[in-house]
C-alpha cells in the first residue's frame, strides 16, 4: 500500500516542470494575495478597523489610500476585504462597488455601473430622475431591508481617485461623501491614488464633506526583505504533488539567493523600482527557460532574462545600422564632445567623417555626398538625431542644426556587439576626439 502511494506521489520530470510552471504563473499573472501584507501592518489594522465599523456597526466613513505606483495600495485593500468578508454575517450583508477613474470617465457612466453592481437595473427600470443626487439616493433607498428600518452597508472603492476629481462639478464625489457624512445609509468611501496633492484637486464643498483620513503607503522594506519576497515568489507550496522535486526546487531557490550574480540583478531591480509587478515580469520570463533538460532555474537564466527586460531600445536600433550610418553617429559623438553638447549640422558631420576617411584611407567607406545625406536623413527618421528647429527648407537641410539623442555608452555598447565591425572604426570611436 505504501509503495503504491509512493508511486502515485512521484511524477515524471516533465509533469513536475509543467505543474511548477502552472502554479507559479498563476501566482504572478493573477496577482495572488499574500497570506499577510508585508511592511504595511499598521496601515492594515487601521483600514480593517475603519471598514469593520461600517460593515458591522453601520458607521459611515471615508478614507484615502495614498502611495506611489507599486507600493501595494490595491493589495492592502484586497487583503482587508478578504479578512472582512470571512465573517459569514458580514459577507451576506455588505455590498461592494468597485469604480475606476480610467473606466468610469464621467458620472453618468459611473452611476450606470453602480446600478449594475448593486443589481438594481430592474428597480430603476425606465424611471426618470431630476438629478444625480436623486438617482443615487433612490438606489441606496432600494437597498433597505424588508422592514425598511435599516440599510445594507455599501463599500465604495474608487481606484485612480484623482481622475474622479476631473469629472464635471465633481458630482459623484460630492454625493458619495455627502452620504458618508449623513446617518441615513452606512457607506464607506475608499479612494486609492498615487497623487500626494489629491486634496488640492477637490472643490471646497467636496473637501468639506471628506473626513480627511489618509493612509500613506511607502515602499519602506529593505533589500533583505526584497530577497525574501523573491525567494517566496519562486518557492513551490508544501502541497506540491512531488515532494522530492519541490524540496530540490526550493533548495535551489535558496542557493540562488546567495549567488552574487543573482544578488546584483535583484539589486538593480530593487534600486530602480520596488514594484513587485516588475519582479513578477522578470520571474515569468525566467520561468519560461525551465524545461525537462533544464529543470531548475540557474543564475545564468536570471541574468539573461534581466538583460532582455532592461534592454535599451536605442542601443538595439544602433545594432541594426549600416557601417556608414554608424560612422556618422561616431562623428556626431566627437562633435558633441568637442562643442560640449552644442547642436551641429550635416556639413560639420560630413567634414568630420571625411577627415576620418582621409586619415585611414578607407576606400570601402568613400561614399558620395548624396549617399551620406540619405544615411543622415535615415538617422533622423529613426529619431537618433533631433532637429533643433522646425522642418528644414530643402536647399538649407545641410545646415539645419540637430542634436544627437544617444549617449557614449550606448554607442560603445553597439560597437562591441556589431558583427564584423572594422577595427579602425572601433578605435576612432574609442579615441578622445575624431
Give the DSSP letter string of 275-303.
-HHHHHHHHHHHHTT--SSS-S--HHHHH
Query: So what's the pLDDT on residue 288?
Result: 87
CB atoms within 10 A of CB 210: 20
Per DSSP, what are the bridge partners of residue 387? Answer: 402
Q: Calculate helix-pair angle for 243-257, 223-234, nearest 10 degrees.
A: 160
Q: Which residue stretches of the chain have pLDDT < 50?
A: 1-8, 146-148, 392-393, 395, 432-434
Query: So what's the pLDDT on residue 434?
Result: 44
Query: So what's the pLDDT on residue 219?
Result: 67
Look over the chain and give the mean of its residue pLDDT values, rounded to a whole number. 82
**CA angle (253, 254, 257) in 5-degree steps:** 90
In Å, how far are 23, 24, 247, 254, 255 from 237, measured between CA atoms?
Answer: 9, 10, 10, 14, 18
Contacts of 173 (CB under 8 A, 6+ apart): 164, 165, 167, 202, 206
Contact 101, 162 (CB under 8 A): yes
Q: Which of 69, 81, 91 is nearest to 44 (CA)?
A: 81
Contact 139, 127 (CB under 8 A): no
In Å, how far are 41, 351, 427 from 331, measured between CA atoms?
Answer: 57, 9, 13
Query: So what's the pLDDT on residue 128?
Result: 66
User: Helix, strand, or coil here: 11?
Assistant: coil
Here the cell at position 141 is 433607498
Query: So what's the pLDDT on residue 144?
Result: 61
Q: How far apart are CA 19 and CA 305, in angstroms?
A: 21
Per DSSP, what are the bridge partners of residue 155? Answer: 96, 188
- Radius of gyration, alpha carbons of the chain: 31
Query: So what's the pLDDT on residue 310?
Result: 72
Query: So what's the pLDDT on residue 361?
Result: 60
pTM of the model: 0.66
C-alpha of 178 from chain center: 34
Q: How far apart are CA 5 and CA 387, in angstroms?
A: 73
Amino acid at each position: 500500500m505504501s509503495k503504491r502511494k509512493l508511486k502515485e506521489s512521484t511524477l515524471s520530470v516533465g509533469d513536475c516542470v509543467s505543474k511548477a510552471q502552472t502554479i507559479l504563473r498563476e501566482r504572478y499573472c493573477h496577482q495572488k494575495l499574500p497570506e499577510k501584507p508585508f511592511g504595511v501592518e499598521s496601515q492594515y489594522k487601521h483600514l480593517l478597523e475603519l471598514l469593520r465599523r461600517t460593515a458591522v456597526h453601520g458607521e459611515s466613513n471615508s478614507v484615502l489610500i495614498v502611495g506611489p505606483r507599486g507600493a501595494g495600495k490595491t493589495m492592502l485593500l484586497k487583503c482587508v476585504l478578504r479578512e472582512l468578508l470571512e465573517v459569514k454575517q458580514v459577507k451576506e450583508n455588505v455590498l461592494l462597488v468597485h469604480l475606476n477613474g480610467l473606466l468610469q470617465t464621467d458620472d453618468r457612466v459611473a452611476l450606470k455601473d453602480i446600478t449594475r453592481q448593486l443589481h438594481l437595473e430592474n428597480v430603476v427600470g425606465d424611471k426618470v430622475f431630476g438629478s444625480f443626487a436623486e438617482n443615487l439616493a433612490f438606489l441606496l433607498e432600494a437597498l433597505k431591508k424588508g422592514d425598511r428600518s435599516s440599510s445594507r452597508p455599501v463599500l465604495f472603492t474608487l481606484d485612480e481617485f484623482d481622475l474622479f476629481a476631473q469629472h464635471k462639478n465633481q458630482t459623484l464625489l460630492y454625493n458619495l461623501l455627502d452620504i458618508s457624512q449623513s446617518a441615513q445609509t452606512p457607506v464607506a468611501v475608499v479612494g486609492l491614488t498615487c497623487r500626494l496633492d489629491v486634496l488640492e484637486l477637490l472643490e471646497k464643498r467636496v473637501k468639506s464633506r471628506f473626513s480627511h483620513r489618509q493612509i500613506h503607503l511607502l515602499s519602506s522594506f529593505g533589500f533583505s526583505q526584497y530577497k525574501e519576497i523573491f525567494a517566496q515568489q519562486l518557492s513551490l507550496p508544501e502541497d506540491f504533488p512531488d515532494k522530492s522535486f519541490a524540496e530540490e526546487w526550493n533548495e535551489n531557490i535558496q542557493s540562488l539567493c546567495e549567488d552574487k550574480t543573482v544578488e546584483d540583478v535583484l539589486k538593480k531591480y530593487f534600486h530602480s523600482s520596488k514594484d513587485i509587478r516588475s519582479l513578477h515580469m522578470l520571474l515569468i520570463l525566467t520561468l519560461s527557460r525551465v524545461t525537462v533538460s533544464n529543470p531548475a532555474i540557474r543564475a545564468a537564466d536570471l541574468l539573461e532574462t534581466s538583460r532582455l527586460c532592461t534592454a535599451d531600445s536605442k542601443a538595439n536600433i544602433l545594432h541594426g545600422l549600416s557601417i556608414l550610418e554608424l560612422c556618422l553617429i561616431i562623428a556626431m559623438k566627437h562633435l558633441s564632445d568637442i562643442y560640449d553638447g552644442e547642436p551641429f549640422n550635416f556639413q560639420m558631420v560630413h567634414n568630420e567623417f571625411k577627415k576620418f576617411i582621409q586619415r585611414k584611407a578607407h576606400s570601402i567607406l568613400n561614399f558620395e555626398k548624396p549617399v551620406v545625406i540619405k544615411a543622415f536623413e535615415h538617422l533622423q527618421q529613426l529619431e537618433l538625431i533631433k532637429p533643433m528647429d522646425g522642418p528644414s527648407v530643402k536647399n538649407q537641410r545641410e545646415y539645419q542644426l540637430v542634436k544627437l539623442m544617444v549617449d557614449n555608452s550606448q554607442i560603445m555598447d553597439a560597437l562591441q556587439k556589431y558583427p564584423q565591425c572594422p577595427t579602425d572604426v572601433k578605435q576612432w570611436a574609442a579615441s578622445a576626439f575624431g
